[in-house]
Amino acid sequence: RECSGLVLLSSCHRTTEQVQQFFTDARRRGRYPATYRAVTVGVPAEAEGEIRAGLCWQQQGDTTVVVPVPAPGRRSLARKEVKNTLTRYRVLGAAGGCALLQLQPRTAFPEQLPVHLTLLLCPALGDHQHSSRVGRVLGVPFLLPPEAAPTRTQVLDDELLSRLGLSPQQLRRLPLHIHLQQLVLP
């Protein structure tokens, strides 16, 4: 996992199982113990909202990537080939075409947050895996299908590069700006 922030470790298998069960039970009860912060390239159109999407693993060439499924069928959901996912977001601040978001995932799926931010047309800063799925025409963002957008180093405009004090060659070392800020424990 590439995000920064809190890390929960246990050397006891029983404790690990209990904590995992706590997180599962909390989600079932409508409580969401994890809160993240993300810096995004782009500002969401709405100040707060929900991002819902079916997600699945898909083979692309020699790698496996997480892709959104626009309208997952009952069979694919029943066979657990696709999982419906949900993330609540709130814009905490915005400047210079970037935003600071608070994220609360209501479901758990690998790479859920970066994919959801991409679906919002505001990929996380440093997202070299999914940001290529957001294209721009005359400054207006649009979503590209995953198969048409191979993984590559995130591309930032010259103004943002300048504000970050980075050269295009340094971009590949820019880390993913998603941070686990808060974790409620039993």
CATH number of the structural domain spanning residue 175: 3.30.2350
Q: What is the pLDDT of residue 95?
A: 95
Q: What is the pLDDT of residue 6?
A: 84
Q: What is the pLDDT of residue 142?
A: 94
Q: What is the pLDDT of residue 1?
A: 52
By residue range, what is the domain housing residue 156?
Answer: 4-183
Q: Count of domains in the chain? A: 1
**What distance lies between CA 23 and its chain's CA centroid?**
19
- What residues in the chain have per-residue pLDDT under 50? none
